[in-house]
Chains A and B, each alone.
Chain A
Amino acid sequence: MTEQAPVLILLFPFLSAIVVALAGIRMKGLCWPLVLLSLAGSVCASLSTLGRVLDEGTIRYHLGGWAPPIGIEFRIDGLNALVAVTVSLVALITAIYSKISVEAESKDKVSQYYAIFLLLIAGLLGMVITGDAFNLYVLLEVSALTSYALIAMGSKRATLAAFKYLIMGTIGASFYLLGVGYLYIKTGSLNMFDIHEQLVLNNLEQSPTILVAFMLITVAVWIKMAFFPLHAWLPNAYAFAPTTSSSIMGPLVTKVMIYVMIRMVLTVFGPDYAFEVLNWDNIVVWLAVIAILAGSIGALAQKDLRKMLTFLIIAEVGYMVGGVWLADETGMVGSIFHIISDAFMTLCVFLFAGIVFTKTGRRNITAVEGMFKKMPLTMVGFIVGAFSLIGIPPTAGFFSKWYLIQGGINSGNWEYVVALLISSLVNAVLFFRIIEIAYFGAKPADGHDDHHGEDHSKISEAPFTQLVPLLGTAALLVIIGIYNKDIVSIIQDFLLPFNLGAGS
Chain B
Amino acid sequence: MKILGFIAVIITGILLLQAERDFPDWGDPASPANNYRLSQHYITQTFTETTVPNMVTAVLADYRGYDTMFETVVIFTAGIAIIGILRVFGSSSQLEHKEPTLTAKKPDLIVDTTCRLLIPIIQLFALYVVAHGHHSPGGGFQGGVIFGASFILLALARNLQTAQKWLPESRVLTLAGAGIFIYAGFGVAALVLGGDFLDYGILTKLLPGGVEDARSHSMLGVEIGVAFTVTAIMFSIYSNLASNGKMKEGI
* Nearest residue, chain B, Cβ from A120: B77
**B200 lies within 8 A of chain A by Cβ:** yes
Contact of B191 among A4, A71, A216 (CB under 8 A): A4
B83 beta carbon closer than 8 Å to chain A: yes
Judged by a CB distance under 8 angstroms, whether A11 is at the interface is yes
Q: Knowing that A72-B64, A139-B70, A187-B36 are A-B contacts, what are 18 other residue pairs whose CB atoms are under 8 Å apart, sorted by A's residue number?
A: A15-B188, A18-B76, A22-B174, A69-B37, A72-B66, A116-B77, A119-B77, A126-B70, A135-B64, A138-B67, A149-B84, A149-B85, A153-B85, A187-B32, A198-B36, A208-B19, A209-B19, A212-B19
**Please, what's the 1-or-0 string for B87-122, where 1 marks a CB less than 8 Å from any CB in chain A?**
101100000000000000000000000000000000
Q: Are B200 and A188 in contact (CB under 8 A)?
A: no
- Report B-chain residues with C-beta under 8 Å of the C-beta of A386: none
A66 to chain B: closest residue by CB: B63
In B30-63, the 8 Å CB interface with A consists of 31-39, 41-42, 62-63
> Is A349 engaged at the interface, CB distance under 8 Å to the other chain?
no
Partner of B196, one of A7, A119, A142, A182: A7
The answer on a CB contact under 8 Å between A109 and B87 is: yes
- Is B180 at the interface (CB under 8 A from chain A)? yes
Q: Which of A7, A11, A63, A210 has the most CB of B within 10 A?
A: A63
The binding surface of chain B is classed by DSSP as helix
- CB of A61 within 8 Å of the partner chain: yes
* Residues of chain B contacted by A208 (CB below 8 angstroms): 18-19, 21-22
Say yes or no for B23: interface residue by CB 8 A criterion: yes
Closest to A182 in B: B19
Q: List A contacts of B74 (CB < 8 A).
A: 138, 141-142, 145
List 30 contacting pairs A-B, 8 Å CB cutoff, sorted by A: A4-B196, A4-B197, A11-B184, A14-B73, A21-B76, A25-B170, A61-B196, A64-B196, A106-B84, A109-B83, A109-B89, A112-B84, A119-B73, A135-B66, A135-B70, A138-B70, A138-B71, A138-B74, A142-B74, A142-B77, A153-B84, A159-B85, A185-B24, A188-B34, A188-B39, A189-B36, A208-B21, A212-B16, A212-B19, A213-B19
B129 at the interface (CB under 8 A from A): no
B81 within 8 A of A: yes
A142 near B73 (CB under 8 angstroms)? yes
Residues of chain B within 8 A (CB-CB) of A198 are 32, 36
Residue of A nearest to B73 (CB): A142
Known: A188-B35, A207-B22, A212-B16. A72 touches B191 (CB 8 A): no
- Within residues 419 to 443 of chain A, which ones have a CB less than 8 A from any CB in chain B? none
Interface assignment of A113: CB less than 8 Å from any CB of chain B: yes
Q: Are B15 and A149 in contact (CB under 8 A)?
A: no
Interface flag for B199 (CB, 8 Å): yes
Instruction: Identify the interface centre among B81, B198, B202: most chain A CB within 10 Å of its CB.
Output: B81
Report which of B20, B80, B188 forms a contact with A112, defined as CB distance below 8 A.
B80
Check A108–B77 contact: CB distance below 8 A.
Answer: no
Interface residues of A in 42-92 (CB under 8 A from B): 61-66, 69-72
Please tell me if the beta carbons of A18 and B33 are within 8 angstroms of each other in the complex: no
Q: Which B residues, 179 to 221, have Cβ-Cβ distances below 8 Å to chain A?
A: 180-181, 184, 188, 190-191, 195-202
Q: What chain B residues lie within 8 Å of A189 (beta carbons)? A: 36, 38
Say whether, besides A63-B196, A69-B38, A109-B87, A148 and B173 are in contact (CB < 8 Å): no
The closest CB in chain B to the CB of A191 belongs to B38
Q: Does A228 contact B (CB under 8 A)?
A: no
Q: How far is the CA of A44 from the CA of B65 in the complex (A)?
A: 26
Least CB distance from B1 to A in Å reads 11
The answer to whether B251 has its CB under 8 Å from any CB of chain A is: no
Nearest Cβ on chain A to B130's Cβ, whole angstroms: 21
CB neighbours of B188 from chain A (8 A) = 11, 15
> Top 8 closest A-B pairs, CB basis?
A188-B36, A149-B81, A65-B199, A212-B19, A188-B32, A112-B84, A108-B89, A209-B22
Closest A residue, CB atoms, query B86: A152
A186 CB–B CB distance under 8 Å: yes
B177 touching A22, Cβ below 8 Å: yes
Evaluate whether A71 and B64 lie within 8 angstroms (CB atoms) in the complex, with A22-B174, A64-B200 already known.
yes
Q: Which residues of B contact A14 (CB under 8 A)?
A: 73, 184
What's the minimum C-beta distance from A429 to chain B, rounded to whole angstroms? 32
In the complex with contacts A63-B66, A64-B199, A188-B23 CB distance below 8 A: no
- Residues of chain B lying within 8 A (CB to CB) of residue A141: 70, 74
Residue of A whose beta carbon sits closest to that of B88: A108
CB distance from B232 to the nearest CB of A (A): 12
B78 interface hit (Cβ, 8 Å): yes
* Residue A344 CB within 8 A of the other chain: no
- A210 partner residues in chain B, CB cutoff 8 A: 22
A146 within 8 A of B: yes
Closest to A216 in B: B15
Pair B33/A188 contact, Cβ less than 8 Å: yes
Contacts of A145 in B (CB 8 A): 74, 77-78, 81
On chain A, the residues within 8 Å of B66 by CB distance are: 63-64, 71-72, 135
| Given A14-B184, A116-B77, A116-B84; A135-B38 close (CB under 8 Å) | no
Chain A residues whose CB sits within 8 angstroms of the CB of B180 once the complex forms: 18
The listed residue (A18, A123, A209) touching B177 by CB distance below 8 A is A18
From known contacts A7-B191, A207-B22, infer whether A113 and B84 are also in contact, taking CB-CB under 8 Å.
yes
Residues of A within 8 A of B37 (CB): 69
Give the residues in chain A near B64, CB-CB below 8 Å: 71-72, 134-135
Residues on B with C-beta less than 8 A from A152 are: 81, 84-85
State in angstroms the CA–CA spacing of A65 and B49 once bound together: 12
Contacting residues, chain A, for B42 (C-beta < 8 A): 70
* Measured CA separation A198–B89 after assembly (Å): 54
Given A142-B70, A142-B73: A21 in contact with B80 (beta carbons within 8 A): yes
B15 vs chain A, min Cβ distance (A) = 5
Q: Are A149 and B77 in contact (CB under 8 A)?
A: yes
**A296 to B48 CA separation, bound complex (whole angstroms):** 60
A64 CB contacts on chain B under 8 angstroms: 62-63, 65-66, 196-200
Q: A22 touching B200 by the CB < 8 A rule?
A: no
B83 neighbours in A (Cβ, 8 Å): 109, 112
Report Cα–Cα, A207/B24, bound state, in Å: 12
**What 0/1 pattern do residues 101 to 133 of A give for CB contact below 8 A with B?**
000001011001101100100110010000000
Is A215's CB within 8 Å of the partner chain B? yes
**CB neighbours of A286 from chain B (8 A):** none
